[in-house]
Structure 1
Amino acid sequence: MNNFVFQNPTKIIFGKNQISNLASEIANYGKNVLLVYGGGSIKRNGIYDKIFKQLADFNIVELYGVEPNPRVTTAQKGADLIKENNINFVLAVGGGSVIDCTKLIVAAAHYEGDAWDIVTRKHIPTKATPFGTILTLAATASEMNAGSVITNLETQQKVGWASPLVFPKFSILDPTYTFTLPKNQTVNGIVDMMSHICEQYFNEADNSDLHDAMMEGVLKQIIHYGPKCLENPQDYEARSVIMMAGTIALNGQLRWGFDGDWASHGLEHAVSAVFDIAHAEGLSILMPNWMKYVMPNHTAKFKKFAVNVFDVNTEGKTDQEIALEGINKLQNFWQEIGAPTKLTEKNIQKEDIPSIVNAIARPVGTMQPLSKEGVYKIYEMSL
């Protein structure tokens, strides 16, 4: 295990009707609030009205229409609103896209240059407007981490960045707010959180048994409770487990002392930078094929994954056969809950691969760094 320092300052407020704490959580920061959200779902499900009831004594400015792959241009608009309206606090209401966008908004509000400079690390933030979140989609753990992924349509890039200044001050997690999610969004959330765990599970470490056991346990809970959310969207217990699993998956505690591989995310970011598909859809297509590509060089870890997560029977099988069966079980699980498993399902063809390869922003992979030929092969396997 490597040396590490861990600190997560985000306050989690979990459970039914916890929105009643909203005003008291914001009050110490000031009266001018920027409300950031995506489409109209928070108006249809009543959260919007509850926010305005709770914040009746506050001055609220709105930024709505945050995209599923949040754009740097949208974040720049939000930063400008903070400056123009003397905003003291920002409230992000939605899933990972809204929260990721808000993180760039609050940092860019204190920078006179282009917000994209922050994403590309040309500018390191020194200040950020405080913000909190109300989570409506369990998926990314952006509600309890300092990371963000932003898309630049002009350059056809999708890039991740992070700063300790953009941890949310608090996040309200009410599982009932996920009851009315469309099925595809619940599916995407399940894929997203599972992929986050897998990215950390497959690492360079010689011995990560403690972390592996934690990750295997969370994965098994998602596999058990995820389908229950689809069968009965108002199953509070199932929604609660999935909501907390999504937060645990990427709030930092599963990677103490280790780095994950993150190749699948690098591969996916390039796809959704060129083709505007949901992040989780790209992951459900690419991750199993990345696994199949690298597995022969890391058979023991993939065998462990197969046995401990998917209960693969080892009798009469080689280690590689066991490992491959585990990968296939993951791919089949995602397919069974309704996630795509081929690029062609999203109208992406072989002739599109070169433009996707060119959109990869950084070197891909740490457990097994991928060559350009390897990257191309994985995309080809994913058609």
Structure 2
Amino acid sequence: MKFSYVNPTVIHFGQGQIVQITNSIPKDSKVLVIYGGGSIKKNGVYDQVTAALGDHEWLEFSGVEANPTKETLDKAIDIVKAENVTYLLAVGGGSVIDGTKYVAAASLHDGDSWDLITGVYKPETAIPLGVVLTLPATGSESNMGAVVTKKATQEKLGFLSPTVRPAFAVLDPDAMKTLPERQLINGLVDAWVHVCEQYITSPTGHMVQEGYAEVLLRNLIVLGDSFEQRDDAWRANLMWTANQALNGLIGTGMPQDWATHMIGHQLTALWHVDHARSLAIVQPSLLRSQMEFKQGKIEQMGRNVFGLSSSDDLAERTINAIEAFYAKLKVDTRLSEVEGDKSEAVEAVIKKLEDNGYLKLGENQAITIDVSRQILENAL
């Protein structure tokens, strides 16, 4: 176990913390507030943000989609360049935050913004950004990753850069009160798979990372079980658990998978399947296909997360328990959202994987194109 770890994002957690924006952004900044479809104007978040920016010069950009597109974000980049914006404030969930990270980095590039995704442009700096989180799910509020969709080519791809890690993030659970149930469920599932991608690999003996991952998974089970009794504590615990699931800590020094995400992203890009639900479709089939490598960790998860007793079929019972977790939340684990010939859907996803160079996925690079095809066929 050898690693270097730092997470410099300042977290302002709790009710009423949006006021922290006032002193978190330098007063001489020109701020662009970026948000989505306008729900923040209905739940009071927008009013709190504008009040906190009372001493700042600021303008706004709205309309960032649930899966942010290059085409929309390029419009924000044009504003940043034309108005000499010096600070960005993302107000929303993971999609708004990811999109803002893209704007932060690409705005300092003279070429095509997609160069950031292809690696043609490697940012050495970015416009600083802060976050007001309204939907807990991705952990994007305090990590250095982002995923963006290119609508023209139906590609959903990501990038990592320490230059776009937010300087601060406000996590006020009250911002969740008006969220639809579907979005809350998606947040639960997304956080769950984030932990799994860093945990279900092979036993490492890293007691802190593995033990903490198991705590987070147990948290999410409890939150799922008590979904109908949501209160202030429930919202606060989901918001903090989702943050800890992907702030970099539990993956530090650990083997990581992420194949479920790479395959699931294609379902979202092609058919607009909710991101979290695309993960639930892929994950159980993927785990069964990789039993040769993952059995020990799956069994550990069965014992330490689900409280299952040891047996010859413990790994399969654990995967069944994962599927039951999704079922309780009414999240499908089959490719039901794609209409028409499912075999054609499989081949469409495979072509996208090939086009993007995802020829070998997973912590062991054992998920070849043929294995990806089998995973998808088994998820039908």
1:49 Cα offset (Å): 1.4
1:206 Cα offset (Å): 4.1
Indicate yes or no: 2:274 matched with 1:281.
Answer: no
Indicate yes or no: 2:363 matched with 1:370.
Answer: no
Q: Give the counterpart letter for 2:22 in structure 1.
A: A
User: How is 1:1-383 mapped onto 2 (pairs within 5 angstroms)?
Assistant: 1=1, 3-28=2-27, 30-204=28-202, 206-228=204-226, 230-233=227-230, 235-314=231-310, 317-318=311-312, 321-347=313-339, 349-360=342-353, 361=356, 362=358, 363-367=360-364, 369-383=366-380
CA contact (8 A) 1:36 1:64 kept: yes
Q: Give the counterpart letter for 1:40 in structure 2.
A: G
CA distance in 2, matches of 1:38, 1:340: 26
1:205 Cα offset (Å): 5.7
CA distance in 1, matches of 2:260, 2:32: 34
Q: Give the counterpart letter for 1:199 in structure 2.
A: E
1:57 Cα offset (Å): 2.9
CA contact (8 A) 2:37 2:62 kept: yes
- What is the count of residue pairs matched by the alignment? 375
1:103 Cα offset (Å): 0.3
CA contact (8 A) 2:15 2:174 kept: yes
When residues 297 and 125 of structure 1 are mapped into structure 2, their CA distance, relative to the original with a 3 A threshold, is: closer
Three-state SS of the structure 2 residue aligned to 1:310 is: coil
Three-state SS of the structure 1 residue aligned to 2:131 is: strand
Three-state SS of the structure 2 residue aligned to 1:187 is: helix
TM-score, reference length from structure 1: 0.94
Q: Deviations over 1:48-100 (max 9, x none)?
A: 11211222233322211111111112222111111111112111011100000
1:346 Cα offset (Å): 4.3
CA contact (8 A) 2:200 2:294 kept: no
1:193 Cα offset (Å): 0.5
Q: Deviations over 1:10-33 (max 9, x none)?
A: 0000001011111111134x2421
CA contact (8 A) 1:294 1:368 kept: no
When residues 297 and 22 of structure 1 are mapped into structure 2, their CA distance, relative to the original with a 3 A threshold, is: closer
CA contact (8 A) 1:132 1:168 kept: yes
CA contact (8 A) 1:204 1:366 kept: no
TM-score, reference length from structure 2: 0.95
1:335 Cα offset (Å): 1.5
Two-structure CA RMSD over aligned residues (Å): 1.5
Greater alpha carbon shift after TM alignment, 265-274 vs 141-150: 265-274
CA distance in 1, matches of 2:29, 2:298: 52
CA distance in 2, matches of 1:346, 1:215: 32
Q: Unmatched 5+ residue regions in structure 1?
A: none
CA contact (8 A) 1:82 1:109 kept: yes
1:105 Cα offset (Å): 0.1
Structure 1 residue ranges, 4+ long, deviating more than 6 angstroms after superposition: none
Q: Give the counterpart letter for 1:347 in structure 2.
A: E
Q: Deviations over 1:268-291 (max 9, x none)?
A: 112212121211010011111111
Q: Give the counterpart letter for 2:17 in structure 1.
A: Q
CA distance in 2, matches of 1:306, 1:218: 14
Q: Give the counterpart letter for 1:292 in structure 2.
A: R
CA contact (8 A) 1:260 1:367 kept: no
Q: Give the counterpart letter for 1:255 in structure 2.
A: G
CA contact (8 A) 1:68 1:97 kept: yes
